[in-house]
Amino acid sequence: MSIPTQLSLHGYIATSPELTKTRNGVHRFRARVGVEQFRKESDGTFTRLDPVHCDLVAFETTAQRAFSWFQVGDSFVASGYINEYETNLAGQPVTREEFVARRIGHDLARTNYEVVRRQPTTSKPAPPAVTEALDHAIGL
């Protein structure tokens, strides 16, 4: 069994995040992000290079939460995929890329924060079929 993985991106929020809606009314988070680049030198030191910038988007609940949590300068880690799309620039078709974050959070290595956990509920336990499916999914 192989470990299921997704592409990841880590960087910093470079422009003020925007929260808009798609034509279908779905919330969309968008920000320009920077990814730091370094080159390892022959003496073992690292030289900082210019950052690479790209667009990061998220949709639905992730978009709403990202908009309320992130501001310019925040470091993040996101998992998702790259979306290529065509747009017109000065009347010419241009192919662009954006990173679509399915999951996103602050980078633990660069951010101090406090975790506020939800209080456990006293609701009914999950039905056996759900419990069995979860146990199977995690290999128990």
Domain-located, residue 50: yes
pLDDT beyond 90 at 134: no
Domain-located, residue 138: no
CA distance 74 to 95: 28
CA distance 54 to 99: 8
CATH code for the domain in which residue 95 is found: 2.40.50.140
Q: What's the domain count of the chain?
A: 1
- pLDDT tens column, 63-113: 999 999 999 999 999 999 999 999 999 999 999 999 999 999 999 999 888
Domain-located, residue 34: yes
CA distance 104 to 82: 14
Helix (H) / strand (E) containing 60:
helix 60-69
Domain-located, residue 135: no
**pTM exceeds cut of 0.85:** no
Domain-located, residue 67: yes
Domain of residue 100, residue span: 7-117
- Residue 66 in contact with residue 104, Cβ under 8 Å? yes
